[in-house]
A and B are shown apart, each in its own frame.
Chain A
Amino acid sequence: MTDYGLSEEYQDLSDTVRDFADQVVAPVSQKHDEEHSFPYEVVQGMAELGLFGLPFPEEYGGMGGDYFALALALEQLGRVDQSVAITLEAGVSLGAMPVHRFGTDAQKEEWLPSLASGQALAGFGLTESEAGSDAGGTKTKAVLQDGQWIINGSKEFITNSGTDITRLVTVTAVTGTTERPDGTVKKEISTILVPTDTPGFRAEKAYNKVGWNASDTHPLSLKDVHVPEENLLGVRGRGYANFLSILDEGRIAIAALGTGAAQGCVDSAVRYAKERHAFGNMIGKYQAIQFKIARMQARAHTARLAYYDAAARMLAGKPFKSQAAIAKMVAGEAAMDNARDATQVFGGYGFINEFSVARHYRDSKILEIGEGTTEVQLMLIARELGL
């Protein structure tokens, strides 16, 4: 039987990040949310804490930890500030991880030290207006000519792609076609490293989002972007398979973030239910509130168990696709449901932006959409059942 108690070093890491989240992140969360500003000082603090290097080996400037360590950090950050958590999540699991997993030694040496130390950020340019989970719709093209890839196209919703410290975006692009045995033609998709100072690469104006206001998200345009042939990341034509595996892991990270958000809503609701009095009692004395919060706690707990299990399977080298999809779906829904219930517990104050539950309410919706919608998770789960 698996014991989900944390080992001492995981617990200590989690406690440290919790303190950091409460002492360093929380005091500036509202300001960055209101101003839609990127929290550079918090990112610098996370860098000093080594969070950007958690799952990477020490030889590349990492902390020598693993993906579960990253997930624990994300849970603690997500509890307090989802924008900060997604900045770390995207920086590590979407930005740096593809280089670590699929890069050549030279690519790793060039990029990992600055990414793992948090001095630079990388984005993952996959989504397009007509391509996301269905990568077959990818329209961005890369043509190999005289030892250079010439890339043209555009990307949507790319996290961390336009900050002052963004140095790299990994883009997926159609690099040709392959003919299947049955005669049908399929797009060959590859991933290519594009340094952000390459002429023709542009991060367009940031989106005006419903939530995650302090997270950096842009559309990207690539016009005759020339990069050396050796910037191909991984094997040509394996881009699709590679990003699928990156997304499988990423779902565990997003599940951890969602678990944190769900827990943050519980913690806030419990505190408020003990403070606020109505009809002669603190409102936490009434079952209407008790049951709501008890249900919230059950959701947060379930989400945590789901991501712990998916992470444990991943670290043990077992298949975890279905478990990661379940964890991502359950945690995203827990965050959204808990945010809705927490704002209800807060009453009118839950609708005021300076309260963190209101921020969670706006922030949590994307957890049912990003890194594969809930519907895509259901597809994956059903597929694993042979349907």
Chain B
Amino acid sequence: MKIVVLVKHVPDAQFDRHLSGPGNTVDRSESILSELDEYALEAALQLSEARGGEKGGNSVIALTMGPDGAANSIKKSLQIGAGEGYHLSDAALAGSDAAATSLALSAALNRIAQDGPIDLVIGGMASTDGETSLVPAQLAERLGWAYLGHAKSVDVDGDSVTVNREVDGHAEILQASLPAVVSVTDQINEPRYPNFKGIIAAKRKKTHPLSLSEVGLDASAVGTQGSLTVLDEAQERPARTQGTIITDEGDAGIKLVEFLAAEKLI
């Protein structure tokens, strides 16, 4: 089975996030592999390992789209256990919205499929920066494959994939024929950390750089030009101001209640 995992290089939520540059987009200088994509990678590795891993003819491929720094997310994926990586990078991709991103990724997947058909594409349920959750669904539409979103379990049996998803208090079991696109939640598994052997092994694994022309796309189809939505304006959230301090002069209780009532908290 050949599984492609969509991995995204996102700003590290541990640090303060800032907007910068001409498009006022998120500063990506302190970025990491999106935490939610680690669940997708783990799900792919478990599916592969249950079938004998690479020796059993299975492969797990990490695919990312992003600037040079995104290579770090591929590296991390390879350290964790992916067999090879593809890094789609092109200056023209900057500013791509979900629609343009899914177009570019579908083209990259078609390019990867030239070396052998893909059975399954797995992604996280959202990116931890854009948070649109649109890309996997759009990707399935572009590829003409089934889409099974927000899975909390995924299993493959023969030519079909089954997922379990929980929505608003009820559970659904969805089944589709392969190939398919699946997005997984953070409930699906406990992602592993890379071990030292994996870190060393990753140095011998291949990352294939892909340019727009190599995936057969024109620069005008992606980036801000190819996007359906345009980021008009973005503002950083104003710094928090100091709250109200009530000094107890015998009437603090009353003042507290008045404050809470005024804020409609009681």
Contact = CB atoms under 8 A, between A and B. Distances in A.
Nearest to A23: B193
Contact of A69 (B75, B196, B203): B196
Interface of B: 75, 79, 192-197, 199-200, 203
B197 A13 contact: no
A249 B176 CA distance: 57
Interface residues of A, number: 17
B193 A13 contact: no
Main secondary structure of the interface of B (DSSP, over half): helix
A234 interface: no
Nearest to B14: A22
B196 A20 contact: no
Nearest to B72: A12
B195 A64 contact: no
A65 interface: yes
A65 B194 CA distance: 14
A351 B141 CA distance: 60
Contact of A13 (B192, B196, B203): B196
A63 interface: yes
Q: Which 8 A-B pairs have the closest CB atoms?
A: A50-B195, A63-B196, A65-B196, A12-B199, A63-B197, A9-B199, A49-B195, A49-B193
Contacts, number: 38
Contact of B194 (A16, A54, A58): A16
A246 B197 CA distance: 24
Contacts of B200: 9, 64-65
B10 to A, nearest CB: 15
Contact of B199 (A16, A19, A48): A16
Contacts of A69: 196
Contacts of B193: 16, 19-20, 48-49
A8 B192 CA distance: 20
Interface of A: 8-9, 12-13, 16, 19-20, 48-51, 54, 58, 63-65, 69
A49 B193 CA distance: 6
Question: A16, A20, A51, A69 — which one has the most chain B CB atoms within 10 A of its CB?
Answer: A16
A48 B200 CA distance: 16
Q: Most chain-A CB neighbours within 10 Å: which of B75, B79, B193, B200?
A: B193
A12 B192 contact: no
B195 A9 contact: no
Nearest to A47: B195
28 contacts: A8-B203, A9-B196, A9-B199, A9-B203, A12-B75, A12-B194, A12-B199, A13-B196, A13-B199, A16-B79, A16-B194, A16-B195, A48-B192, A48-B193, A48-B195, A49-B193, A49-B195, A50-B195, A54-B196, A58-B197, A63-B195, A63-B196, A63-B197, A64-B197, A64-B200, A65-B196, A65-B200, A69-B196
